[in-house]
Amino acid sequence: MLDLTPKEITKRKALRINPAKTCQPIGAMYASLGIHGCLPHSHGSQGCCAYHRSHLTRHYKEPIMAATSSFTEGAAVFGGGANLRQALKTMFTVYDPEVVAVHTTCLSETIGDDLPSLIKKAAEDGIIPKGKTVIHTNTPSFVGSHVTGFSNMTRSMVRYFSRENGETRELINIIPGYVEPSDMREIKRLSAEMGIKSVVFPDTSDVLDAPQRGRLELYPKGGVTTKELRDTGEAAATLALGGFASEDAAIELERKCGVSYELLDLPIGISATDRFIQAAIDITGKEPPASITDDRGRVVDIMTDMLQYLYGRKVALFGDPDHLISMTEFVKDLGMKPVHVITGTPGKKFERRIKALLKDTVPDVNVRSAADLFLMHQWIKNSPVDLLIGNVYGKYIARAEDIPFVRFGFPILDRIGHSYFPTVGYAGAMRLLEKMVGAILDRKDRDDPDEHFELVM
């Protein structure tokens, strides 16, 4: 498969081989699905929308509903305004969404379609029914990544919905970042157990992990409602989880409605989750119940029991920047050594943060943003590791180099469970620990000679 990857590293300026990211519209489409009754709309060619839908469908094993402007040669020359108007007519007549969330593609960005003007004119002409909303964001695929697209669409939710009426309610906003439906549900559970009233947006829980009821539900019961989105402007504060996926929306909310925000890492692992719980305490004055502190104690217990199998192990990680920052800290807390860390998303602040986290434990860490898996494979060839952590595309490196592999992040196309079992919070930390220890011990069982093949570890 990748057996011919050369060990010698050559500097590349313009070539990316198997980049550790995908394009902006996928992230925007995923964020849109976190609004209740929303139909995402891809303003571009039919092929773009089909690819983005199929990729999300393969990851979540759920049908992804989305519409497209279906550009042809004519739209490429004269613009996509007529296509968008016809699409809006069809969507509201046939599918009756509460919200249509439009995101652009490479083609519509290159043409330069003026979406605000097109949407305004459609509303004036009665194409958008009273009481319905069309929002938009710009997501050119030739810059950023799926994380950037998620961030842009989340910021647009603030621009279109958030309102300020001069009152501050006993409410906090939580922007969860580009995480799984299970993670958004866990974040809501933690805040509810602390007695905190919160608005989590976007919220794909009960949308992309909705229960099977024997009938198609075009708009499942989940997702943040438009009323809740309007209420975000009256909140006491915002917790933005992850600087790459969540901070832009928090900044927009502060600018528009004066809601202050605190930027936190994704609560993956014990340290980052501790900071999330402490921030909630500081803002609300609520103390965590015994159920939460007990969960933390269980994580510490597992860490203590399994330290002998994890300590000193070299790890390579790749994926989305917000995930990697917290995951790098977590594996460091476990006594492991993250020696190679890459993300496909651009941003030098990612490199600075990883180096700061590891300055005392792995000062010579290999870290790169806007990187690809070809480079990761070359690093591993030159400095082997005991464990590889990342999305499904890591399986090729794991097979070529015979490395234990833990699937983590987006996308995961060849396994199930990621959309149902959280990796955030203390419950998520327990699951990640089980997966890492399991992968290492499975390898030990495979490689041990008979005299060391133990029944009890």
Find the DSSP H helices in 334-424.
348-358, 373-382, 394-401
Q: Is 180 left (phi over 0), alpha (psi -120 to 50) or beta?
A: beta
Secondary structure of 64-126 as H, E, C letters: CCCEECCCCHHHHHHCCHHHHHHHHHHHHHHHCCCEEEEEECHHHHHHCCCHHHHHHHHHHCC
Same domain, 284 and 215: yes
Same domain, 96 and 226: no
**What tokens does 263 get?**
């930027």
Same domain, 298 and 375: yes
**What tokens does 200 get?**
């989590």
Same domain, 242 and 329: no
Domain carrying residue 270 = 172-289
Q: What is the pLDDT of residue 129?
A: 96
Same domain, 326 and 397: yes
Specify if 50 maps to a domain: yes
* Mean pLDDT estimate for the chain: 95
246 contacts 119 by C-beta, under 8 angstroms: no
Q: What is the pLDDT of residues 149-183, one digit of tens each?
A: 999 999 999 999 999 887 778 899 999 999 999 99
Same domain, 314 and 442: yes
Which residues sit opposite 387 in a β-bridge? 315
Q: What is the pLDDT of residues 419-440, one digit of tens each?
A: 999 999 999 999 999 999 999 9
Q: What is the pLDDT of residue 435?
A: 97
Indicate the number of domains in the chain.
3
Specify if 166 maps to a domain: no
**What tokens does 361 get?**
């434990």
Specify if 145 maps to a domain: yes
Same domain, 260 and 124: no
Specify if 16 maps to a domain: no
Specify if 11 maps to a domain: no
Residue 29 has pLDDT above 70, yes or no: yes
Specify if 306 maps to a domain: yes
Q: What is the pLDDT of residues 47-95, one digit of tens each?
A: 899 999 999 999 999 999 999 999 988 887 788 899 999 999 999 999 9
Cα(224)–Cα(200) distance, integer angstroms: 7
Same domain, 139 and 101: yes
Specify if 125 maps to a domain: yes
Q: What is the pLDDT of residues 299-316, one digit of tens each?
A: 999 999 999 999 999 999
Specify if 232 maps to a domain: yes
* Residue after which a domain boundary falls, among 141, 161, 181: 161
What CATH number does residue 149 fall under? Answer: 3.40.50.1980
* Residue after which a domain boundary falls, among 289, 317, 332: 289
- What's this model's pTM, rounded to 2 decimal places? 0.95
